[in-house]
Amino acid sequence: MRLNYTSRQISDLIEGKLMRYFAREPHNATMHQYYKATCSVIRDIMSELWLENHDIVNSHQEKQVYYLSMEFLPGTSLRNNLFNLHLEDVMSRSLANFGKKLEDLYAIDPDAGLGNGGLGRLASCYLDSIASQGMAGHGMSICYEYGIFKQAIENCNQVEKADDWQDLGEAWLLEKEDESENVQFGGSLEEYWENGKLRINHKNYHTVIAIPNDYYITGYDSKVVNTLRLYRATSPVSIDMELFAQGKYLKAMEEKHMAEIISKILYPEDAHQEGKMLRLTQQYFFTSAGIQTIVKRHMRTFKDLKTFPDKVAIHINDTHPALAIPELMRILIDDHRLEWEDAWDIVTRTVSYTNHTVMPEALEKWAESIIREIQPRIYSIIAEINRRLTLELTIKYPYDQDMIRKNAIIYDGQVRMANLCAAAAHTVNGVSALHSEIIKKDIFDGFNKETPSKFTNVTNGIAYRRWLCQANPRLSELIEDLIGPEFKKDATNLEKLMKFKEDENVLTQLHQIKRDNKIKLADKIWQTNAIKVDPDSIFDVQVKRIHEYKRQLLNLFHIIYIYDRIKTEPDFDIEPRTFIFAGKAAAGYQAAKEIIRFACHLANKINSDPEARDRIKIVFLENYSVSLAELIMPAADISEQISLAGKEASGTGNMKLMINGALTIGTYDGANIEINQQVGDENMFLFGMREDEVQKLRDSHSYSPYDHMVNDKHIYRIMKQLSCEIDGQCFNAIANLITNGSGGPADQYFVLADFKSYMEAQKRVQETWKDRKRWTQMSLTNIAKSGIFSADRSVGEYAQRIWGIESINGK
Ligand code: 26V
């Protein structure tokens, strides 16, 4: 699909915007004004396309999916939209008419960080693929005024800075105030009889208004434009004039203030659930607004709720939007007067749910009292769902108390959101083959016994047109020269690259492109960290949130080991390596913050040691974000995916690095296993215990990190250095995590248990690097075999097996 705009036409449109918005002539407009004018022109083009496909969807009465997620991480928008609409060239020329460069606008395009990490980025990758495949599907979330904090590293410590992305980011948003919804909080319930039926009246509640801000989602070469609807909270009462009249000015504005807090900021925690009232308020706020809108839209078109599950699919991204379930029940029963059974039938045929973690501390549980306080009607519906569920289980399994203990939604005064989702969803999926098996025997053991057919797997995928075509344009061009452009629509075509495995010319070009990308990253490292790194060294990359289970410590311990050997053995054989880290720690996660401090001090120590610094370097890049990732992925040689087996649900950074030709050093965990199936043992570096071995070791209660310390002199020396031998700093808290645990078991992620195996895998990395041809062939193989990890494939599976939606392209 090509749009027919000439550069002159676009220039005229930009000029018009500069004039109307800023009263500026092109020659005296600022770059920010150009940016806003340009975005606005593109937004208008998208609006037109949106209107067009809106008509198609309505006239064909196509089924649509709503993807509810507390988080989306779209990254930057300008380049992506121009790329998708094939407008990059014409826009470049239009701006050149004013003597401006498109690249300079890209540089100021803000990174919308409305998410923490993997889960939010996945949601954005999926919206991209849904639109690219011509499906009608929309995201729904919160229009956080402040997204994920900006991370600065000051004196080796993480410092969190506010991210007010909306300053420029609002250029992409379209407020639709007329589609606002009222969300009701608090209050009390009153029962009454109506035509012989017991009904519930919710009264004395207070109302918060949810104002939609639509963010258009374009697809590659697709006429479909969807929306990510972000709700902003406000109050219907801006000033309480009664209080004002009494001179209580601050109090008079309190209600508005309290309402607006709801969409103020994204919770930056993805490690521990804390049961904070405001977070649950956020969850009810956006799910209620979303579900109200979905039901209204359906009624407007179809006028009948019976067809709801045939026309609407609602997907719950992790448990955060789980209140969508009782909210839909509430609307069906209280507002539309459906019987419980009919409402439940609609809900259970409409809702599906993805689990993204098995970490027990991240599983959402809420005290019953909090839910009751936030919305008593929602609480009463959850209680009724639970009552019916447990009654059914008691009848079916009269002697199996365990079944109730496992499956109950309310237990011990807590509402277990995962069980609510599993009870209501027609399909529950994990995000990699291993993870989907683990959730069946672990958190959903009971539900799996009861309804095994509910459970399925959809392995994650990435928006590879962003991560390969846009982030690594030279590689993308080379691929296009070799196998044609079809790979941009169907990533499985990448496999055709295999026939160039022996082609020296191709291998040389591949190497050269990687080297140039490394130079670009080296420049960035120089600018931000004032560290000179050698583009001919191995760029060894671990970029992801900082979590104990992801085991950045294993990587850091191994670096200390190498350093130690460099210091003690002058002839130690080591290929020059640059270890690159990036990632944010949740603000309240002390251990993760300590790991950052440790990495940065270790970097200081090694980078300033003349005996070591020409052989190894460490870089911690601050503020890991989608944009920074787009610079790092194309420049990586080694992709560190070293989580404890069984803990990383899937990983998606592993896929982004793979498609850019990095080789994985990884455990048998998450999607690493599927990467292994694609490329074979010979094209990656597997190490470490398998999930069953981890389980066995844990169950045996015989694991002793202390034994590793006394029996392995290298490990002993590493641990010793943690006490005050690194850049004059002590890391006793880290040593303590390994030797004693802090609260939990010692070394609960088995860092020392996997150390030797990791060290050996790292040796294999180094031996392979010495053979450049072999390395580049492995890299080519990784690119060629990465097609399966396209989000198009994942979304195709969701659409077919879970949502039941089809493409409207061509209709
Ligand atoms: C969890 C929590 C826990 C409670 C507090 C707030 C909060 C916010 C976010 C999360 C999300 C954690 C789950 C997550 O991000 N999982 C990641 O999902 C990726 C996409 O499926 C997957 O590739 C990663 O392996 C998985 O860790």
- The mean per-residue pLDDT over the stretch 112-124 comes to 97
From the CB of 273, is ligand 1 less than 6 Å away?
yes
Determine whether the shortest distance from the Cβ of 270 to ligand 1 is under 6 A.
Answer: yes
Residue 647's CB is within 10 A of a number of other CB atoms, namely 22
Q: Do domains 60-75+111-460+796-803 and 486-704+753-789 have the same CATH topology?
A: yes
Is residue 409 pLDDT above 70, yes or no? yes
Q: Is the CB of 305 under 6 A from ligand 1?
A: no
Rounded distance from Cα 133 to ligand 1 centre (Å): 26
- Distance, CA 317 to ligand 1 centroid (Å)? 10
Indicate if the pLDDT at residue 29 is higher than 80. yes
What three-state secondary structure class fits 214? strand
Q: Looking at the predicted structure, is the pLDDT value of residue 255 above 80?
A: yes
User: Does residue 120 line the site of ligand 1, with CB under 6 A?
Assistant: no
CA 600 / ligand 1 centre spacing (Å): 25
pLDDT over 80 (residue 55): no
The 10 Å Cβ neighbour count of residue 663 is 24
Report residue 173 CA to chain centroid gap: 21
Determine the distance separating the centroid of ligand 1 and the alpha carbon of 356, expressed in angstroms: 6
Largest CA distance in the chain: 91
Nearest residue to 631 (alpha-carbon basis) of 597, 656, 594:
656
Question: Residue with the nearest Cα to atom 23 of ligand 1?
Answer: 651
pLDDT tens digits along 416-465: 999 999 999 999 999 999 999 999 999 999 999 999 999 999 999 999 99
| DSSP for 132-179, written as a single string | HTTB-EEEEEE--SB-SPEEEEETTEEEEE---THHHHGGGEEE-GGG
Is the CB–ligand 1 distance for residue 267 below 6 Å?
Answer: yes
Distance, CA of 322 to CA of 350 (rounded, Å): 13
pLDDT, mean over the chain = 96
296 against 223, higher pLDDT = 296
Give me ligand 1 centre to Cα 687, in Å: 24
Segment 288-292 mean pLDDT = 98
| pLDDT the model gives residue 150 | 97
Q: Is 60-75+111-460+796-803 assigned to CATH 3.40.190.10?
A: no
Atom of ligand 1 nearest to the CA of 271: 3
Query: Which one has a higher pLDDT value, 357 or 59?
Result: 357
Is the Cβ atom of 119 under 6 angstroms away from ligand 1? yes
CA-to-CA dists, residue 384 to 295, 377, 548, angstroms:
22, 11, 39
pLDDT at 52: 87
Confidence at 19, pLDDT banded by 50, 70, 90: very high
Q: According to the model, what pLDDT value does residue 250 have?
A: 83
- Tell how far the Cα of 320 is from the centroid of ligand 1, in angstroms: 10
| φ/ψ (deg, to 5) at 729 | -115, 150
- The tens digit of pLDDT for each residue in 675-693 reads 999 999 999 999 999 999 9
Nearest CA to ligand 1 atom 11: 270
Find the mean pLDDT for residues 738-743.
88
pLDDT, mean of residues 20-29: 97
For ligand 1, atom 5, the nearest C-alpha belongs to: 273
What's the CA-to-centroid distance between 355 and ligand 1, angstroms? 9
Neighbours of 713 (CB within 10 A): 10
The residues that are catalytic are 356, 544-545, 550, 652, 656
Which amino acid residue places its CA nearest to atom 4 of ligand 1? Answer: 273
Residue 274 has pLDDT above 90, yes or no: no
% of the chain surpassing 90 pLDDT: 91
Q: What is the mean pLDDT of residues 595-608?
A: 98
State pLDDT tens for residues 531-544. 999 999 999 999 99
Which residue's CA is minimally distant from atom 3 of ligand 1? 362
Examine the pLDDT at 809 and tell me if it is beyond 80.
Answer: no
In order of 483, 503, 512, the CA distances from 499 in angstroms are 10, 8, 19
Q: In the structure encoding, which two tokens stand for residue 47, read together? A: 């609006």
Residue nearest to atom 14 of ligand 1 (CA): 119
> Which helix H or strand E contains 592, and what residues bound it?
helix 590-607
Domain extents in the chain: 1-59+80-110, 60-75+111-460+796-803, 486-704+753-789
Which residue carries 């220039």 as its tokens?
A: 11
Sort strands 72-75 and 455-457 into parallel, antiparallel or unpaired: unpaired
Judge if the beta carbon of residue 460 lies within 6 A of ligand 1.
yes
Question: What's the whole-number mean pLDDT along residues 123-132?
Answer: 98
Measured in Å, residue 657 CA sits from the centre of ligand 1 at 19
Distance 119 CA to ligand 1 centre (A): 5
Give the Å distance between the CA of 506 and the centre of ligand 1.
39
Which atom belonging to ligand 1 lies closest to the Cα atom of 670? 25
User: What is the token pair recorded at 89?
Assistant: 């060239």
In a mutational test of the pocket of ligand 1, which residue from 141, 149, 270, 672 has the highest number of ligand atoms less than 8 Å from its CB? 270
CA 576 to chain centre: 33
Is the distance from the beta carbon of residue 651 to the nearest atom of ligand 1 less than 6 Å?
A: yes
CA dihedral 46, 47, 51, 57 (to 10 degrees): 50
Is residue 54 predicted with pLDDT exceeding 90?
no
The pLDDT, as a whole number, for residue 811 is 64
Ligand 1 neighbourhood includes 380 CB (under 6 angstroms):
no
Query: If you take atom 7 of ligand 1, which residue's CA is the nearest one?
Result: 270
Query: How far, in Å, CA of 51 to CA of 778, rounded?
Result: 46
CA of 115 to the centre of ligand 1 (A): 10
CA distance 506 to 511: 9
pLDDT at 64 over 90: yes
Kindly state if the Cβ of 356 falls inside 6 Å of ligand 1.
Answer: yes
For ligand 1, pick from 67, 70, 72, 119 the residue to mutate: most ligand atoms within 8 Å of CB: 119
Contact of 136 with 805, CB cutoff 8 Å: yes
The CATH class that applies to domain 486-704+753-789 reads: alpha beta
**What pLDDT is recorded for position 252?**
80
CA distance 139 to 123: 8
Which residue's CA lies nearest to atom 16 of ligand 1?
356
The whole-number pLDDT of residue 214 equals 96
Q: What is the per-residue pLDDT for 810?
A: 67
Q: What is the pLDDT of residue 743?
A: 81
Ligand 1 pocket check for 650: Cβ under 6 Å:
yes
Is residue 13 scored above 80 in pLDDT?
A: yes
Q: Return the best residue to mutate from 114, 318, 545, 641 for the ligand 1 pocket (most ligand atoms within 8 A of CB).
A: 318
Q: Do residues 123 and 137 lie in contact, with contact meaning Cβ atoms separated by under 8 Å?
A: no
Q: What pLDDT band is residue 786 in, cutting at 50, 70 and 90? A: very high
Question: Residue type for 362, please?
Answer: A
CA distance 183 to 259: 11
Which helix H or strand E contains 281, and what residues bound it? helix 277-302
Nearest atom, ligand 1, residue 122 CA? 20
Confidence band of 35 (pLDDT split at 50, 70, 90): very high
For ligand 1, whether the C-beta of 357 sits within 6 Å is: yes
pLDDT in tens, 70-117: 999 999 999 999 999 999 999 999 999 999 999 999 999 999 999 999
Cα 585 to the center of its chain, rounded Å: 15
How far does Cα 400 stand from its chain's mean position?
A: 38
What is the mean pLDDT of the segment spanning 663-679?
Answer: 98
Q: What is the model's pLDDT at position 662? A: 99
User: Which of 357, 459, 647 has most ligand 1 atoms within 8 Å of its beta carbon, as the pocket-test mutant?
Assistant: 357
What confidence tens digit (pLDDT) does each residue in 368-389 have? 999 999 999 999 999 999 999 9
Angle separating helix axes 552-568 and 751-769, nearest 10 degrees: 60
Strand, coil or helix: 770: coil
Can you tell me the mean pLDDT for 140-159? 97
Q: Measuring CA to CA, which residue among 325, 451, 463, 466 is closest to residue 386?
A: 325
